[in-house]
Amino acid sequence: MRADKEEPVKTSWPSSSADEALVPDHAGWARQDRLKTGSAAAFMLQHLVAGAVSFVLFVGGSIALLIWAMIIDNDPGGPMFFPVFVLLVLLAAACACVVLFCLTAGLQLLRRWLRFPWWVPLVAIFPLTFATLAFPGTTGSVRSGLWLLAASAIVTIAFGMYWAALQAAGGLLDRIRRARATQHEDRSQSVDMAR
């Protein structure tokens, strides 16, 4: 081989043309970084949508339950109870969204590795939560069992809202990507026909 000619390095991503497949190494790294950035942006967008939906439902549901209790019980805590309650609900919702983000991000990574259906975490969360809450405080009374059931149900509902919103956002992003890909293919075919 001649020393004055540099041989192009073949990259590992799929390419639409033979010219794009043979590019220098520095351009290949830039392309791979862009692909990783796009998938990271989609990951964060899915979690932002799921977090926003969960936050709104958690805060709205808690405040609606409080207003219902105030109507029935005639103001349960004085004039400062409602503003303090709203502040505590906002803080609890933010903490719950952070915990759910960490849990679901770990499940998404595990799902890539083990390849299980999207509904398996929804089915498994209640027994896992009940077992986790029941193990340290096994007292055996009926009252503690009811509290464990209620706490497990609350955690299951919160996780279910987040996970369903996460899966819906992922499905919507996939549809948008497919629609853009078909539009791009249609444009390239029409340009090829015009030539």
- Confidence (pLDDT) at 24: 44
- Confidence (pLDDT) at 139: 59
How far is Cα 80 from Cα 77, in angstroms, rounded to an integer? 7
Q: Pick 144 or 86 by higher pLDDT.
A: 86
How far is Cα 45 from Cα 52, in angstroms, rounded to an integer? 10
Beta-carbon contacts of residue 169 (< 8 Å; ≥ 6 apart):
45, 46, 49, 50
Residue 83 has pLDDT above 90, yes or no: no
- Give the rounded distance of the alpha carbon of 194 from its chain centre: 43
Q: Pick 168 or 19 by higher pLDDT.
A: 168
Nearest C-alpha neighbor of 164 from the set 121, 134, 124: 121
- Confidence (pLDDT) at 45: 92
- Confidence (pLDDT) at 192: 67
Residue 185 has pLDDT above 60, yes or no: yes
Q: Pick 23 or 4 by higher pLDDT.
A: 4
- Confidence (pLDDT) at 52: 95
Q: Judging by beta carbons within 10 Å of its beta carbon (0-12, 13-18, 19+), is residue 152 exposed, middle or buried? A: buried
Residues 44-54: pLDDT tens digits?
999 999 999 99
